[in-house]
Structure 1
Amino acid sequence: MAAEMIAATRDVADAELAEAWNGLFASAAVGLFVVDAAGRILHISKRLCEYSGLTAEQFIGTDGMHLLHPDERLSYRAAFIALTEGTKDSWTAERRILNKDGEFQWVLFSTAKMPGMRANGGPAFVTQVTSIGKQKRAEKAAADVLQRWTFALENAGQGMWDYDVENDVWEFSAAWKRMRAFDEDATVEFITSHGFGFIHPDDRDMATDLFAKQKSGEVDEIAYEYRYRRQDGNWIWIMVRGCCLERREDGTPLHIMGTDTDITELKKSQETYHELSERLQLALDTSRIGIWETDPATLETIWDERTCEIFGCSPADFEHSSLAWPSMLHPDDREHAMAIAGAGVTTRSNYNCQYRIIRPDGEIRHLRSYATFSQLAGGGWKMLGANWDITTDVERAEALDRAKILAEQRNVEIETARAAMEHASLHDALTGLANRRYLDRLLDSLSNERGCDNVTILHVDLDRFKQINDTRGHAAGDALLVHMAGMLSAIVGPRNTVARIGGDEFVVILSPSPGPERLHGMINEIIQRSNVPIYWRGQECRTSTSIGVAIADGRTSARQLLINADLALYRAKNLGRNQATHFDARMHSEIVAQKQCGDDIIKGLAQGDFFAFYQPQFCSRTLDIIGVEALARWRHPVEGILTPDRFLSVAQDLNAMHEIDRAILEKVLKDLKRWDEAGIAVPEVSVNVSANRLADEGLIDTLARNDWARNRISIELLESIFLDDSDPVYDKHIGKLRELGVDIAIDDFGTGHASIIGLLKLSPYRLKIDRRLIAPIADSPSQRGLIKSIIDIGKSQGIQVCAEGVETRQHLEILRELECECLQGFYFGQPMAAGDLPRYVAREDWRRDS
């Protein structure tokens, strides 16, 4: 009927037209259907019926809209109306239609008006339907690949560079700088000033030549590799890719941009990657399809080149070509594969199967075969098939199974890691104790609206811990902290909490509070066991412990209780350390004053308020000035000029003594230069130096920059600091000081614990006898004997001896008798400002009194 309607306006016989259309629709490799101007289907191909699972009768007379995806029906109608109205001659669009399995699949509709043909009084339209499902899947796969590559490029850490050719301006990303070990704040000028100098000499000409070609416009893109010496001295391999983004009218570049990739590890494992690359290439090659043909009657077989490649041989290698395929089947798959193929040959029905083969070289491959049968014109049959090497797919599936197992294992590991991270966020990494975050939570949990009750807090601090860190190294300090953590935990027991909240600070939360006797026992045990030295790599590390104790009264929050314990600790350290102090209300105002002093010291250092007073030193025989000692003073904004007894202990707690020493030395060098310019002869200035300042490289640098003061500066070190300790940093710096012409003197000799062996090892040029030993010599023969012994020791070793605290003429006469070479004290004059020294030297009042 459809053919009759279409043919009604043609000059071709209806029978001939019907036969032509029926032949066309029966043999069409794609779906075809014809509609009239109302969109009703007049004729539909067999292939399209098979695809949809409906008969032609079910289509004829309908618009077929029930097969279209609901989202696309409206657009289809609009496009078809445009065709019927003549707005368009043809129309092509991608649409989704239902297949026989009830699934929507992508197809391509190509609809055109059939010239000269009429149907039902109007024009007829033919539509070709082509399946594009594979194309859509390929597009999706490509989009997925593009997305993965985009993510990889954004997160690969590649160094980006940008070159403005016209203005000769470079820009480098942070990753580019890190790759070359430049500081992230390194300037472009600094980087480009080195140019190609860091490129390996063997690669430099190649790199400069390629860049010059790109800069000139000779090449549009560059890609090359070279070796580069980083700022830390290490060599790396870098891959450069660059392209021109903008050109001038003459074609020369205006703007070049590129990426640098660190391929050092890639280069190191190049052989491994090369092997993997070959395997990958093999996998890619074997993904191609092999075609074969078999005569079902004789089983004569022909393989194309790809099939021969898959099997690793040719049918010609066998006695009969029919033996090639069966003989290569894997023994475990042979029966199943032969049964499927045999059934297909017997029934002449298409089949596909999956199996393994063993190639002549022993390699086992996984294949999928598809076979179809077609009858030849002479009545015979031909069997045509295709082989896919799916070894990679099978291996990938197996790998996915393994990956699933690994992922499940990884989930367990992640959960374990999460728990570990939570633990780590609440505990100190070094000691394993609770950290400040844990402590804050615990303090909050111990408080209620009124405060906390039945809680005692101990704030524990290691004395002289910084000195151990500075002299023995941080590893020794860490060992001491771990030892201390274990000791505290053992003493207070598992029911109480020990936390490390700072470098050498620990907090112990005792809840419930122990009784007075138990608390006293804990504190004494902590102090006593802290005094026991530990040994690290054969070296003794000796420290002690200061403890602040605060006991809850029911009215104070746990956080305030910790502050109270901190104040008590501050008092314990000021009272001489190695002891415990309980918080009381009176303590607060005193501690606040000391903390204010600390703040003032820091401000005074920043404002240059620390300077030197000078006390002359005299030859005991001639009473000539042989030097002066610089004594620290602080010009306090409120209290005026302060002596060290007013600020020394606070400065030591602040670890600010080395900064005060630095400020005093700088003032001494300026004063000494002014005296020289004024013609005032001051042979030498003695400067007191703390242990931290002695370990400071800045001391060496300052004296090295002021070589004009060579042999005119001496350093006074306290006997109690280190004389019997062997420390490589101190030893090295003392050696450097001597090379710079700086004399070493021991201050307050006789009050420390140094041995003669330690004295001989240091070999100072001067010993200064403490004023407390000098004061009683007028009335004590035994004291005079002690001083005589010190003087004799100095003479025997070629060490000058200087007596401090000479306050009377009797002191002067006795010390002359004892042949003490150097004298210093109030008898000759009080310490004075630098501006007063010239008048004092000029008047020589000390000679009249002596």
Structure 2
Amino acid sequence: MERWLAETGISADDLFVFLDLDGATALRLAIARLMASGEPVRTELRLTGKRTHHVIASLSLRSADSGSRTILLQFADITQLKDELEDLAIRESRWNHALVSSASGVWDQRSTGDYYYSDTWRRIRGMEPEDPIPPTTEAWLESVHPHDRDHVVHCIERQNAGDPDYLTFQYRERHRDGHYIWIECRGACIETDSEGRALRITGTDTDVTARKAQEEWQEGLSRRLRLALDISRIGVFETDFDSGTSVWDDAMRRIFEADSQDDIRIGEFWESKLHPDDRERVLAHVSGRIEARETFTDDYRIIAKDGSVRYIRANSLPYVDHDGRLKMIGVNWDVTEDRRLREELEQQKALAEARNVELERTRLAAEQSALHDYLTGLPNRRFLESEIDAWRAAPELDRNGIAVLHIDLDRFKQINDTLGHSAGDAMLKHAAQTLRDNIRPGDFAARIGGDEFVLLVEFDGSCDPLADIASRIIEAMRQPISFNGHECRFGASIGIAYSSDRLADPRQLLQNADIALYNAKNLGRNRFEFYKPSSRSTLVDAHRLSDELLRGLERDEIIPFYQLQFDARTREIAGAECLARWRHPVHGILGPDRFLAVAEDCGALAQIDRIILEKSLQDVARWNALGLHLPKISVNVSARRLNDPDLALGLSKLDIKPGTVSFELLESVFLDRQDEVVRANLATLRRLAIGIEIDDFGTGHASIVGLLNLKPGTLKIDRQLIEHLPESQEQRVLVMSIIQIARSLKIKVVAEGVETEEHARILKRLGCDVLQGYGLARPTDFSETTRRLQAQRKSAQTG
């Protein structure tokens, strides 16, 4: 004790002086406990003398014969032990921080059954610290990718055996979220028994998924580059001027007919292949570009072994590499065939120019066709709009005012439904001819769709000529028409709007004529009405309907109806389109034609889309609970909803099973015009495995490039292209072309408007995938759709 005090420079009398505050307090407390209990007491102290010492102080009582008691204080110096523990803690902290920074998870396995897995090891797999570890190797192997299990078992066996070739191996393991990640396992046996069996295995696991993806991308890029070089038959070379050698790939050797084992020396083989007439020019050109260190292109000829002349094109880049060596890299390709084709093209140039006149005539005919209705030959809506634009663009012309007559055929739908589309087509052709016969030279007649027509006529300030035209048309339309032995009768209602102002807006007049037509129909049809400002009462009605619709949304009156879709080959139910219906408290079930236009005007269309999607998902869940399987549902998506920046957030909250839901987008709205929000939402749909379908395909003007950019899963051919399939060879060719384009792009095709068995038979023959239409199933509510699904299940069970 005295020697130790001397070494530390601490006096026994001044022991408390060399204790810090905590140490002094601890020593006094130890003395107090000793005096109180009489039992020996131990405590740890820190003494500061010549240097700091950590000691264990042991206190005990000694009694003398006189009855007095003495405190015996013994010190055990643990300074070295404390230093070693502190160093150990620092090293452990250092390695722990290094492992955490490297994102490597540590594992330690002992033959005794003790296991350790770090938080990083768990985090890599999406596990929480409290999540249980699979109890056996067999149970853990269930999470390993099936293709990797045998490999993993073999690697673990070799790793346990101490095989240095298996200290590191890679495999795929299922993440807690369900996807697979790549793991790089590094491990080694660090303790064995007397017979060499592994007692302790330790190591790290690292998530290398991103690295594997990058490697796969680079490998794919390399494959594409190799394929591109092979297909293009381009030869690649690299020349080292310091060594006097050039390295050629196989394609380069094929072009110049060099043996695979020949060394290519500068100034020898390549120069010998040059055509004599090109040699001097080419060598001078190459030398000058190398000296200037400039990228250059050259065209020259070589002599083949059979004596023929081949034409070569070369792109070359001289450069100095990192160690100062002058080199040149480049590509050569044989353009002999290109030259021959160019000569042939030049020979065909005169013929092509001669044909240009015919092509231009054909183009003009095609444009004319695009501006006219294929059935009636009248100008179509597009032509009408161009005529209106031309009128507005030239207000300075010497002309009178303008009048618009909006004509709608009465009882046309009944003829179409009872006698078929052929009869309807005959009525439309008759109506078009009636218009031609009853308008004046200079007037403009157009069919704008269905059974609607528009006349643009010059207005000279008097309504009488307009009334005469309308009366003649109505009277002519009333006359009976014979079709296949049937006497068909229909009529016409006409709305008229006019303006004597040369600066009048024809589009506004179109709207006014539409309002007048509405009044004519309400007043009994087969009549004409002029637009009056009071006719604007229809707008009041529309506003009233808008208010009712908003209240209906608040009262949950919007419900889904389902139009089933069928496999074109098996006729099994392949899915259903979810359609919006309004359960009106007064008028009953209303179709979309009664409220969707109003919904769009008041900004409720996106809300209706969302409601239909959510309710449809609930119905699908109810069918699943009943053991009924509906493979897929498709819902319509408005432009406003697809432009909603909160769409992704809303969809992420819904329980949408991948591959069971598709969004239908209108071709004319979404294929060619996409802003950033739309593109982001389309990306969200793909991420959530929600399919993208193009609705009404064939009626818009989208480009194939737009279709490729959108990459939909399905095209829905519009019913207008299906309607006349049985009797129209042109439409069959058009539909077949659409199907072939879709197949080439791996896009499924759904045909709408299948109303007859003949439609279904033709579409199946043309290769259509899915059929939809009134001929197969009309839209029905949840209960009726449930009965259809039950019937299919029963049929499948009995079959």
TM-score strictly above 0.5: no
TM-score tier by shorter-chain length is 0.3 to 0.5
TM-score of the aligned structures, taking structure 2 as reference length: 0.35
TM-score of the aligned structures, taking structure 1 as reference length: 0.33
Q: Which has the larger radius of gyration?
A: 1
